[in-house]
Amino acid sequence: MRKLMECVPNFSEGRDAVLVEQIIDEARKVEGIIILDYSSDKDHNRTVLTMIGSPEQIKEAAINTARKAAELIDMSKHEGAHPRMGATDVIPFAPVANVTIDECIEVAKEVAAEIGSWGIPVYLYEDSATSPERTNLAKVRKGQYEGFFDKIKEEEWKPDFGPQEMNEKSGCTAVGARVPLVAFNINLDTANVEIADKIAKTVRHIGGGLRYVKAIGLKLEERNQTQVSMNLVNYEKSAVYQAFEMVKMEARRYGVNVVGSEVIGTVPMKALIDVAEYYLQVENFSMDQILEKRLLDEQ
Amino acid sequence: MRKLMECVPNFSEGRDAVLVEQIIDEARKVEGIIILDYSSDKDHNRTVLTMIGSPEQIKEAAINTARKAAELIDMSKHEGAHPRMGATDVIPFAPVANVTIDECIEVAKEVAAEIGSWGIPVYLYEDSATSPERTNLAKVRKGQYEGFFDKIKEEEWKPDFGPQEMNEKSGCTAVGARVPLVAFNINLDTANVEIADKIAKTVRHIGGGLRYVKAIGLKLEERNQTQVSMNLVNYEKSAVYQAFEMVKMEARRYGVNVVGSEVIGTVPMKALIDVAEYYLQVENFSMDQILEKRLLDEQ
């Protein structure tokens, strides 16, 4: 049974394609690594790489790409629309097959220690966070690159690895472990974005809703509809069908209907199999009954 | 993108473990073949092998196991509870990844021609059938081994390959192509098997129901409940959610509720992803968004 982990490092360069290729090449060099996707955004001036491999391969690729980013990117000259604090801004690890979240935490810590040894401050976040305040990436990154020269001196923001001093060229980096995120949107037959927003606030964790759901209300101008746009950060604990049924339930209060939904980007099979299991009321189902799961396990 | 096909040959020997191993060994010898499962039933005196591989590997394994079965099994001495007509009784091929049903039909015909060349009569069935009467395996096999000495002489039962004369030692063989079958049962909160049976008759093709659904009503003695036990022979055309909703709808007529369901054995991921897509009303979903699908395609 092959162990597979996902890693989605974000690099603070999205305009210089030659430079980006040099970073991605460091992942390509790792034998056996699967690069599912990488894309650069010019406005954000940022590149997101999605790769999968064994824990050892993923660790090697994460370290080597981060090393190349530290070499090639100068944060003191970086500008872009997306919040960022380092050349390698964030490195999340997630389980894909036959690995636990604890194994991801372990790899995250090893990678963080390595990057720290280069003189770059590193913060552990999400499931690998060393204190509750560091769980949320937005909180860790608050102040961004520019603000960190002061922020890092505060005792509560002492890095988990590396010096308690900002690295001018490379900034600092957040490394974490989490369950793969599911981006899931629900479309409503109302053009009133206030309604979508009220529903989002009720469904999301911060508003008293589902613990692992983040949500906002959005207007879909072209369709004359609105949307509850969600990130399910732990689909095993706050399931897709729960988020869906809860939005439907709250929409009823406004006489609003769900007209459709969207799954954005890549989704782990289990997130949707769980949905089928719920609606079909399946008893005693095992993921090992899935043909494709068996095929992956055989390899 | 690796092409993967499934083959589930059934051999008329389930008591002599040494003999069975010799047959399975012929599949094991084919490099790259994945043997998902094989099991022998003593009452049925029958062994079912489930294997997956490229079309070339599957073809080789199907031919070699059938050749060994023809060598080792003597049908003139066979007895068992399950209907059968040959040493290798039936060889179905099904698409798993990046192959079409037409490619399965092609492999079925090549394997059928090879077996026919050994002097064993072969009938093509299901999607590879050469006439509508040969689509249904039960119709083809009617009369079984013992009856085929006469049946084969009828013009409408002239074999598709091999001699129009029964092979006393090896019997005859059915070779076919089909979409993977989904075995799906729905449990009802009534102990009255007549109700389960009436629902089954309404839902199944033969009774005017869904085209690719076979169904019977069963009693679940231990649970004091009943069950609509179904085979979905083409889940892409008659979907799992359609069968489920139709049983629920018909059960209402009797004031009966669905208390649960069961997926039996292996199921292709897409059969359940389609269910999630339906209930979540997902727009524009592509199977390429499934992480595990991407992983298999990369190999």
Q: What is the pLDDT of residues B268-283, one digit of tens each?
A: 999 999 999 999 999 9
Given a cut of 80, whether residue A1 has pLDDT beyond it is no
Question: What is the secondary structure of B41-75 as a DSSP string?
Answer: ETTTTEEEEEEEE-HHHHHHHHHHHHHHHHHH--G
For residue A200, give the 3-state DSSP assignment.
helix
pLDDT tens readout for residues A101-121:
999 999 999 999 999 999 999
Judged by CB atoms closer than 8 Å, whether chains meet at A293 and B292 is answered as: yes
Judged by CB atoms closer than 8 Å, whether chains meet at A266 and B187 is answered as: no
Domain ranges of chain A: 4-177, 182-294
Q: How far is B73 from chain A (nearest CA, A)?
A: 31
Beta carbons of A3 and A54 less than 8 angstroms apart: yes
Give the per-residue pLDDT at B246.
98
pLDDT tens readout for residues A235-244:
999 999 999 9
- Taking residues A261-287, report their average pLDDT: 95
Under 8 Å CB-to-CB from B102, ≥6 apart: which residues?
none
- Taking residues B189-200, report their average pLDDT: 97
- Comparing CA positions, the residue from A68, A86, A89, A99 lying closest to residue A2 is A99
> At B222, is the pLDDT very low, low, confident or very high (cuts 50, 70, 90)?
confident
Give the per-residue pLDDT at A226.
95
Poorest-pLDDT segment among A173-177, B14-18, B95-99: B95-99
Chain B residues closer than 8 Å to A94 by CB:
none
Give the per-residue pLDDT at B1.
73
Give the per-residue pLDDT at A259.
97
Q: Please list, residue by residue across B146-174, b when 16 or more beta carbons sit within 10 angstroms of its beta carbon and e when fewer do.
A: eebeebbeeeebebbbbeeebbebbbbbb
Judged by CB atoms closer than 8 Å, whether chains meet at A295 and B34 is answered as: yes
Find the largest Cα–Cα distance for chain A: 58
Q: Catalytic: A44?
A: no
Tell me the percentage of chain B whose pLDDT exceeds 90: 87
Given a cut of 90, whether residue B62 has pLDDT beyond it is yes
Query: For residue A290, what is the nearest residue in chain B, using CA coordinates?
Result: B267
CATH code for residues A182-294: 3.30.70.670
Candidates A7, A38, A185, A292: best to mutate against B (most CBs of B within 10 A) is A292
Judged by CB atoms closer than 8 Å, whether chains meet at B52 and A280 is answered as: no
Q: Write the ipTM.
A: 0.81
Q: Where are the alpha helices (DSSP H) in B152-289?
A: 193-203, 240-252, 269-279
> At A131, is the pLDDT very low, low, confident or very high (cuts 50, 70, 90)?
very high
Given a cut of 90, whether residue B208 has pLDDT beyond it is yes
Q: Does domain B4-177 have CATH number 3.20.20.140?
A: no
Give the per-residue pLDDT at B42.
87
Q: Please list, residue by residue across B10-32, b when 16 or more beta carbons sit within 10 angstroms of its beta carbon and e when fewer do.
A: bbbbbeeeebbebbbebbeebee
Phi/psi at A135 (nearest 5 deg)? -65, -50
**Quick one: DSSP state of residue A253?**
T
Length of chain A: 299
Given a cut of 80, whether residue B167 has pLDDT beyond it is yes
Give the per-residue pLDDT at B198.
98
> At A138, is the pLDDT very low, low, confident or very high (cuts 50, 70, 90)?
confident
Judged by CB atoms closer than 8 Å, whether chains meet at B269 and A290 is answered as: yes
Chain A residues closer than 8 Å to B57 by CB:
none
> At B294, is the pLDDT very low, low, confident or very high (cuts 50, 70, 90)?
confident
Give the per-residue pLDDT at A154.
96
CA A196 to chain centre: 24
- Taking residues A136-152, report their average pLDDT: 95
- Rounded Cα distance between B182 and A81, Å, is 49
Give the per-residue pLDDT at B129.
97
Given a cut of 90, whether residue A255 has pLDDT beyond it is yes
Give the per-residue pLDDT at A42.
87
Helix and strand numbers (H, E) in chain A are 9, 11
Poorest-pLDDT segment among A31-45, A81-95, A192-206: A31-45
> At B2, is the pLDDT very low, low, confident or very high (cuts 50, 70, 90)?
confident
> Which residue type does B234 have?
N
- Taking residues A43-55, report their average pLDDT: 93
- Comparing CA positions, the residue from A298, A273, A268 lying closest to residue A286 is A273
B296 in reach of chain A (CB within 8 A): yes
A170 in reach of chain B (CB within 8 A): no
- In the numeric block, the tokens 């090879």 are attached to B114
Show the tokens assigned to B249: 């709808």
- Comparing CA positions, the residue from B135, B124, B126 lying closest to residue B161 is B124
> At B44, is the pLDDT very low, low, confident or very high (cuts 50, 70, 90)?
confident
Given a cut of 90, whether residue A37 has pLDDT beyond it is no
